[in-house]
Amino acid sequence: MCRLLAYIGSPVNLEPLLYKPEHSLIVQSYQPREMMSGVVNADGYGIAWYDLKKGSEPFIYKNTLPIWNDVNLPSISRYVESNNILAYVRSATSGQVLDMSNSQPFQYKNLSFIHNGRIDKFKQTLYRPIRRKLNDEIYNWIGGSTDSEHIFAMLLNKLHDNPDKTIEQALHAVVLELQEMALSYDTYVLANLVISNGKRLVASRYATKSPAPSLYWIKNEDYFPNSVIIASEPLVHGNWQTVSENSIISVGEDCDIRIDQI
Give the tens place of pLDDT for each residue, 197-228.
999 999 999 999 999 999 999 999 998 999 99
pLDDT beyond 80 at 94: no
Number of Cβ within 10 Å of residue 168's Cβ equals: 17
- DSSP-derived pairing of the beta strands 189-196 and 111-119: antiparallel
Q: What's the domain count of the chain? A: 1
Q: List b or e across 225-254, with b for residues whose CB sees 16 or more CB atoms inside 10 angstroms.
A: eebbbbbbbbbbebebeebeebbbbbbeee
Q: Which residues are catalytic?
A: 2
Domain containing 115: what range? Answer: 3-261
Percentage of the chain exceeding pLDDT 90 = 90
- Cβ atoms of 11 and 83 within 8 Å: the answer is yes
Mean pLDDT over 1-14 rounds to 95
> How much is the pLDDT for 231?
98
- Cβ atoms of 133 and 151 within 8 Å: the answer is no
Task: Pinpoint the alpha helices (H) of the chain.
Answer: 14-18, 25-30, 73-79, 127-132, 136-141, 147-161, 167-184
Please give the angle made by the CA atoms of 252, 215 and 179, to the nearest 5 degrees. Answer: 90
> How much is the pLDDT for 37?
81
pTM score of the predicted model: 0.96
> How much is the pLDDT for 54?
83
User: Which residue in 102, 93, 95, 108 sits closest to 45, CA to CA?
Assistant: 102
Number of Cβ within 10 Å of residue 216's Cβ equals: 19
- Cβ atoms of 86 and 3 within 8 Å: the answer is no
Q: What's the Cα-to-Cα distance from 239 to each of 65, 228, 245, rounded to whole Å?
A: 33, 12, 19
pLDDT beyond 70 at 101: yes
- Cβ atoms of 77 and 19 within 8 Å: the answer is yes
How does the average pLDDT of the chain come out, rounded?
Answer: 95
Mean pLDDT over 20-25 rounds to 96
Residue 151 makes CB contacts below 8 A (sequence gap 6+) with 115, 119, 130, 174, 178, 191, 193
Q: Give the C-alpha separation, 43 to 64, whole Å.
A: 6
Q: For residue 69, give the CATH number of its domain.
A: 3.60.20.10
Q: Give the C-alpha separation, 109 to 13, whole Å.
A: 24
For the segment 172-187, what is each residue's pLDDT rounded down to a tens digit?
Answer: 999 999 999 999 999 9
> How much is the pLDDT for 134?
98
